[in-house]
């Protein structure tokens, strides 16, 4: 495998993407790029009425993620490392789950234009978890804009993510079942993940406590 300069961490809401991005980037002496969830003015309204605000929310996220990707494209990845808490192509997962057929057709035209020349990660880390664990984490962190998320939505997203990453082959991928791991509180867990990343030779590998 080529040297890892660009790592993208993915997973359903509550999987711990941002937290892992911070500690992994620190361990690898890498820069970071984060999604800007709280800046989306439609997000809280979306969780209250998904049908009404889905398109507004999705287009805002698409443009925000695209802007971040264009900024990343200016970074010299030959001389630096970068860890991000999202993968650009995952935007389409949410679009397929939340948009109507007509809305998705319009969205897909915009996405097709914006997705050209988006940087491709050297490695994708997919944080996989049961919806029960994800929902528990969401409730525990108590973010105001997430208080109206229901379990069925997390379950639906989980199914969509698993289907997407089952077929994903654009970059090497490390699938991490997060149950039993605590990458923030347990340095040994982070060391184990770091070793897996450094020694990864297969295009797809699973890391699990099971």
**Distance in angstroms (rounded) separating the CA atoms of residues 198 and 159:** 29
Largest pairwise CA distance in the chain? 48
Strand, helix or coil for residue 135: helix
| Cα angle 80, 93, 207; round to 5 | 60
Strand, helix or coil for residue 78: coil
List 49, 76, 85, 189, catalytic entry: 85
CB 9 within 8 A of CB 83: yes
**Distance in angstroms (rounded) separating the CA atoms of residues 27 and 143:** 27
CB 75 within 8 A of CB 31: yes
Half-sphere exposure of 186 (CA within 13 A, CB side): 9
To the query of whether residue 85 is one of the catalytic residues in this protein, the response is yes
Active-site residue set:
85
């Amino acid at each position: 495998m080529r040297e890892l300069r660009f790592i993208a961490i993915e997973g359903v809401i509550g999987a711990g993407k941002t937290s892992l991005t911070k500690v992994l980037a620190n361990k690898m002496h890498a820069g970071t790029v984060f999604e800007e969830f709280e800046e989306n003015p439609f997000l809280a309204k979306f969780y209250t009425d998904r049908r009404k605000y889905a398109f507004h929310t999705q287009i805002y996220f698409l443009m925000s993620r695209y802007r971040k990707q264009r900024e990343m494209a200016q970074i010299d990845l030959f001389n630096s490392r970068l860890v991000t808490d999202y993968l650009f192509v995952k935007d389409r997962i949410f679009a397929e789950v939340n948009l109507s057929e007509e809305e998705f057709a319009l969205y897909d035209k915009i996405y097709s234009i914006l997705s050209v020349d988006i940087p491709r990660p050297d490695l994708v880390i997919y944080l996989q978890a049961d919806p029960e664990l994800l929902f528990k984490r969401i409730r525990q962190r108590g973010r105001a804009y997430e208080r109206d998320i229901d379990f069925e939505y997390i379950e639906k997203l989980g199914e969509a993510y698993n289907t997407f990453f089952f077929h994903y082959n654009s970059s090497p991928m490390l699938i991490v079942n997060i149950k039993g791991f605590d990458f923030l509180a347990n340095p040994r867990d982070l060391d184990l993940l770091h070793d897996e990343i450094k020694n990864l030779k297969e295009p797809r590998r699973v890391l699990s406590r099971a």
